[in-house]
Amino acid sequence: MTRPVPLARLAALALVAFFSTVSSLHAHSPALQPLVDRAAQNALEKYAPQKLLPTQLAITLVDLSSFPSPPSSASSKSSADSAPRASYRGDVQIYPASVIKLFYLAAAHRWMEDGKLNDTPELRRAMKDMIVDSSNDATHYVIDVITGTQSGPELPDADIKTWFDRRNAVTHYFASLGYTGVFAHKKPWSDGPYGRESQAIRLFEPKRNLLTTDATARLFTAIATGQCITAARSAEMMTLLARDLATKDPDPDNQATFTGPVLPAGAKLWSKAGWTSQTRHDAAYIELPHGPKFLLVVFTTDHAHERTIIHTVAKVLVDAFAK
């Protein structure tokens, strides 16, 4: 006797089919698109009982197997933008949590390379803590120095407009490079914001930082292939993004645990995770033991307590690349 398919699963499958059609229209690689769609479908089916919806998941995959392994001081001769890629809702803007720190890191290096920002031990310490430990306090300092703004009391209307335009320096920079869907103008807070920070939220749109998985993958791909600013600066960024897969850290939010647990022995991982009470994201560059290399960005919303959704997505892709 054939058992009826649960309604939750039928809904998930229908929505997967719809969004797969949409994502396929914008796919960079016909070979990778079915793989990404299958990874999304597996996650939506597995977490249908927890009411995971297609609108709460976004994925971008980039195959970097033909590029040299980082960290490296020599960039690849091939353009990072030419790497095969595919996505599932990859162009949808989502609150990125601490993944936005990857963009602040790249902007700081750009500013230093251009001589607009002094390369000091204090800035280097803050950049390291921002990426390695995902420190919000360190990020506040980095944002202050790269945008020329500071938190503080509320400002008169004319002054707050000038302040907010300066605070948008990173947003403007990535827009000038042709990035879409990137808004990087907010500090990550634990208890705040207050003063001019909350004033700007009331007055200007968007109210929060926003990223797409496609934009995140584009930047991380440039870093991983030595093509972000300079090869040397890309290698410095990769050093901060390296994760220890053998870590014994019991913290369930250790950045190595977002994608790392599904990687085989001998794999290597570079990543930047982000998490809040409502979001759980990871941007990860992975090198498998026998050669394949790929970059995977997964954003999940409204299911932050489900720590294995990213694992479910990543496992499908790791298994496919491992064959």
- How much is the pLDDT for 191? 85
251 backbone dihedrals φ, ψ, rounded to 5°: -65, 120
CA dist 167 → 58, 163, 170, 203, 221 (Å)? 27, 6, 8, 14, 25
- How much is the pLDDT for 12? 45
Residue range 63-74, pLDDT digits in tens = 999 888 765 545
* 263 contacts 245 by C-beta, under 8 angstroms: yes
Judged against a pLDDT cut of 80, whether residue 208 lies above it is answered with yes
Residue range 282-296, pLDDT digits in tens = 999 999 999 999 999
Rounded CA-CA distance 174/107 in Å is: 9
Q: How confident is the model at residue 309 (pLDDT cuts 50, 70, 90)?
A: very high
- How much is the pLDDT for 145? 98
Where is 59: in which H helix or E strand? strand 57-63
Judged against a pLDDT cut of 60, whether residue 251 lies above it is answered with yes
- How much is the pLDDT for 107? 98
Residue range 123-174, pLDDT digits in tens = 999 999 999 999 999 999 999 999 999 999 999 999 999 999 999 999 999 9
Q: Which two tokens stand for residue 133?
A: 């430990």
Rounded CA-CA distance 33/88 in Å is: 8
Residue range 216-242, pLDDT digits in tens = 999 999 999 999 999 999 999 999 999
Rounded CA-CA distance 241/287 in Å is: 14
Q: Quick one: which of 299, 254, 255, 253 has its CA closest to 280?
A: 299
Q: Where are the domains of the chain?
A: 1-91+241-323, 95-211
- How much is the pLDDT for 252? 78
Rounded CA-CA distance 78/6 in Å is: 48
